[in-house]
Amino acid sequence: MAKILITGGTGLIGAALCKKLIENGHQVSVLTRTIKRSDLINYFLWDVEKSTIDEKAFDGVEHIIHLAGCGIADKKWTRERMKEILDTRVKSAELVSSVLQKRNIRLKSFVGASAVGIYSARTSSRIYTENDLGLDDFISDTCIEWENAYDDFEAYSDRQSIARISVVLAKDGGALKKLLPIFKMGLGSGVGSGKQFMPWIHIDDLVSLFYELLFNPAYNGIYNAVATEHATNFSFSKQLAQALHRPFFMPLVPASILKWIYGEMANVILEGSRVSNERLLKQGFVLKYPDLKSALTQLCK
């Protein structure tokens, strides 16, 4: 049994990961802004904005998973929201590492979340690998600072890994939960040109990857957390309609409408490139859902 501390443990990914860890007999603690009652998880308070944290959360901790960060696509990108997006990722990591330094804690492994947004919000034929970086835009700059904040953990852990997460497909949250009501009514469609690529991964595969990053000594460094099949916004939308046995005839939603509603944030939806998972596969990781048909069939049944 290992003792694991998770930041962002109440979110979509964190909740699924907590479940898997507990099912495998591990002890899980979560840093949260609101204490919850649970017989299975130990919750501890922290407040990144005020730089406060309950250091008891670190007692006996062997592994840390850093998932903290407010949703990138949850709200329109005002100046305040953009600052919140960055601070909840970078300052939260700095707060955790400060406790490790203060208490001279040595971890067996540290796993940090990042995003394929590091390759920028742009559409191109290029297939990005872990060695690439994108253009200078907000989402790419945020991911770079996010990953740079993990540098400090090298001094406090035997092994460090970063998962660059793509669009997570799950029943209980994320993009799919927002799309399902529309597509179930037969009103689903693509957006913008529909040609933008949409890197994605099934929640079960992502949780399995985090588990390997935590405990498998063969895993180290940066990995693109993406499925094998490269899907465009249009092909994803069409396959989602098919999985739900619904028609797919609506015209593409014009980019101008999304830009009017969401401002700069619309680029995250309207642009996208292909991302390689070759390093992950060469490491020996086996995806349960490598293609959209199998993923959507399972999620929509």
For residue 101, what are the CA distances in angstroms to 105, 158, 188? 7, 14, 50
Residue 265 falls within a domain, yes or no?
Answer: no
Q: To 10 degrees, what angle do helices 79-103 and 138-148 make?
A: 10
CB 273 within 8 A of CB 262: no
Q: How many domains does the chain have?
A: 1
Residue 194 falls within a domain, yes or no?
Answer: no
* pLDDT at 133 (0 to 100): 82
Residue 270 falls within a domain, yes or no?
Answer: no
Residue 75 falls within a domain, yes or no?
Answer: yes
* pLDDT at 211 (0 to 100): 98
Read off the pLDDT of residues 208-259 as tens digits, 9 standing for 90 and up: 999 999 999 999 999 999 999 999 999 999 999 999 999 999 999 999 999 9
CB 269 within 8 A of CB 192: yes
Q: Which of 131-145, 254-268, 273-287 has the highest mean pLDDT?
A: 273-287
Residue 144 falls within a domain, yes or no?
Answer: yes
C-alpha 205/C-alpha 295 separation (Å) is 10
- In DSSP notation, 132-163 reads ----SSHHHHHHHHHHHTTGGGGGTBS-EEEE
Beta bridge partners of 155: none
CB 105 within 8 A of CB 58: yes
* pLDDT at 135 (0 to 100): 79
Residue 246 falls within a domain, yes or no?
Answer: no
Element (H, E) at 41: strand 41-47
CATH of the domain at 55: 3.40.50.720
Give the up-direction half-sphere exposure of residue 43: CA atoms within 13 A in the CB hemisphere: 15
Token digits of residue 79 = 């100046």
Q: What is the mean pLDDT of the chain?
A: 95
Range of the domain at 207: 3-167+201-227+276-288
Residue 156 falls within a domain, yes or no?
Answer: yes
User: If you average pLDDT over residues 3-13, what whole number do you get?
Assistant: 96
Residue 261 falls within a domain, yes or no?
Answer: no
